[in-house]
Copies of this chain bind each other. A is one copy, B any other.
Amino acid sequence: MNAHTLPHVVILGAGFGGLTAAKKLKNAPVRITLIDKNNYHLFQPLLYQVAIAALVPSQVAFPVRTIFRSQKNLTFQMGEVNEINLDEKFVKLDGSVIAYDHLIVAAGGRMNFFGVESVEKNALYIKNIESAIRTRNHLLSMFERATREADADKRRAMLTFAIVGGGPTGVEVAGALAELISHVMRKEYPELDVREARVLLLEAGDALIASYPDELRKATLRLLQKKNVEVMFNARLTDFNGQKIFLADGTEIETNTLIWTAGVQTAEVVESLNAARAGSGRVRTETTLQLPNHPEVYIVGDAAYLEDENHQPLPMLSTVAIQQGNVAADNIRHAIKGQSQHPFRYKDPGLLATIGRNAAVARIWGLSFSGFIAWLIWVGLHIYRIIGFRNRLVVMINWAWDYFFYDNQARLITRY
């Protein structure tokens, strides 16, 4: 069979969902075009470590072309898809038309500021390499500026760091930032009294990591407090002007730093799809991940809305995206062979969140862990997962060294 007569699978997005689907189709009788606006796959679970200067971008981002060097049925295209034409079966990539036989929409998510413009304008967030680097530069600059600030109130505002959102990301950022301050900044800024520095974690509800069992929520709170993170519950943000946070209950917090971790919505290109929606712009798919009325289109990852057996929405997590990427790829194989489509069922591998070094909370095999054991599980799992991309002993050693000894050299303030 001539290669050009093979069915053409277009995959939008080289995140966890798209990457998994593309790999799974390696030996399938298809031509694959994988499209992403970046030339790299981003290992999102460790991105927050770029923001707190523990890792550098090349440790969490891997060039797509390198990953697929040996996969002959795949072409990579870097660019922005601005249109999906479901009826005529093509996507538009920076103006050029790419026709598809099967389409996998794995375009991921972007921050959701819920329409609060002042926050969107003034807050930091950690969703891509650029915003993570911007956060890093800002955090480090605050310390440099504080060394030159004689006014004690202004200095305290510079050294007050507010993180909004008590989900896993917010918890991880707060814990890691508190440790950066107490372990590293204390040594590197002898002219500052770093006890002036505060890390605040603002949660609108009354619990951290709301989807975890109660004992883990409590353990998380305890571990954060031990690291001197001040957790504020029922803290509903109304405004942030870059100098001050305003809460619904009238509280004002003087700070130059707000890191927003409180919401994700689907990518813009997904919003343009004519389809039924759930919250955050997610598309309601068939259980087979197909778009209703368009069986040749599969939606995976953050963009897809499905519920588990308890009628809870599946979370926007890499584990969901990976499993869905596999199922979408399998279903394309089935479709080509004229076989029936299989439904997607999420196998929950557990939940994990670190709270700085040596501390984490984990829920695995129906068991809850917290503290050092959970942290060891977290380290092992992430090294295992990241090795899948790099497979290089030296990188693992380097990464582990940096992580264990907090001795890495990522604390650069760059002017990008």
Contact = CB atoms under 8 A, between A and B. Distances in A.
Nearest to A140: B39
A412 B79 contact: no
Interface stretch (A187-195, A211-219, A261-269, A352-360): A187-195
A291 interface: no
B57 A414 contact: yes
B409 A39 contact: no
Contacts of A416: 130, 133, 414, 416
A129 to B, nearest CB: 6
Interface residues of A, number: 46
Interface in A31-59: 38-40, 56-58
A57 B58 CA distance: 10
B413 A147 contact: no
B63 A411 contact: yes
Contacts of A61: 409, 412
A62 interface: yes
Interface in A5-55: 38-40
B188 A411 contact: no
Contacts of A94: 148
Given A77-B148, A144-B78, A401-B394, A412 B191 contact: no
Interface in A73-97: 75, 77-79, 94, 96
Contacts of A79: 144, 148
A341 interface: no
B40 A412 contact: yes
A159 to B, nearest CB: 16
A39 B141 CA distance: 9
A46 to B, nearest CB: 14
Nearest to A184: B66
25 contacts: A38-B412, A38-B413, A39-B412, A39-B413, A40-B413, A56-B57, A56-B58, A57-B412, A58-B409, A58-B412, A63-B188, A65-B411, A66-B188, A69-B187, A77-B148, A79-B148, A96-B148, A129-B412, A133-B414, A390-B409, A392-B407, A394-B397, A397-B397, A397-B398, A414-B416
Interface of A: 38-40, 56-58, 61-63, 65-66, 69, 75, 77-79, 94, 96, 129-130, 133, 140, 144, 147-148, 187-189, 191, 390, 392, 394-395, 397-398, 401, 407-416
Q: Which 7 A-B pairs have the closest CB atoms?
A: A416-B416, A65-B188, A78-B144, A39-B413, A56-B58, A398-B398, A63-B411
Given A78-B413, A79-B144, A133-B414, 14 more contacts: A39-B144, A39-B411, A39-B412, A40-B412, A56-B58, A57-B412, A58-B408, A58-B412, A62-B409, A63-B409, A63-B411, A77-B147, A398-B398, A416-B416
